[in-house]
Chain A
Amino acid sequence: DVKVTQSSRYLVKRTGEKVFLECVQDMDHENMFWYRQDPGLGLRLIYFSYDVKMKEKGDIPEGYSVSREKKERFSLILESASTNQTSMYLCASSSPPQNTEAFFGQGTRLTVV
């Protein structure tokens, strides 16, 4: 069974902390994505990566960075967490041809206090 696994289901962090969200996929996919999900706004792309060590900004990259040192792992980093980064974070992966299915992790609900 194909799998995208996010390291935590729930996280509570303090304002100003550096936060790491980890995502691992076991499908040998080239593409990996980090989305943020907020009510009424749907899914918004933060960053994506189409190969190891390659990354591109999505629609809302401010306040975030990413790391992809290995093909199966894609990390989202909040350099200095703020309360407006409280949200549900979803990781996804896919592989060419590019219009095939994207597989999603179960999500990490992050609360910044």
Chain B
Amino acid sequence: GDSVTQMEGPVTLSEEAFLTINCTYTATGYPSLFWYVQYPGEGLQLLLKATKADDKGSNKGFEATYRKETTSFHLEKGSVQVSDSAVYFCALFPWSSNTGKLIFGQGTTLQVKP
């Protein structure tokens, strides 16, 4: 079945460092890919998404490119801030699904120190 694998955390960075969180997926066809973020004490909110191969999603300085050849959707940011400390979830919407059901990775905790 379809699945998502994220790099294990926690990831600890200093402010202004470069961030990469790896995400790979297994799926048939052409799934849609998402990054969600969960700030402390809150629910998840959509950070960015890409719906077809080679699409780049971007928001709040974060970017991720849908790479079908490597089945990856890595999250990057050039300069992180303390306010970016959160849990990041990579997710997949299966190509053949008609129910809106997302498949999530296990989440990666990011801690940014001043």
Contact = CB atoms under 8 A, between A and B. Distances in A.
Interface residues of A, number: 28
Interface centre among A31, A41, A104 (most CB of B within 10 A): A104
Interface stretch (B11-19, B71-79, B98-106): B98-106
Given A31-B99, A56-B99, A99 B93 contact: yes
Contacts, number: 60
A50 interface: yes
A56 B99 CA distance: 10
Q: Is the interface of B mostly helix, strand, loop or mixed?
A: loop
Contacts of B32: 99
A106 B43 contact: yes
Interface stretch (A13-21, A66-74, A76-84, A90-98): A90-98
A43 interface: yes
Interface of A: 4, 30-31, 33, 35, 40-45, 48, 50, 56, 58, 90, 92, 94-96, 98-99, 101-102, 104-107
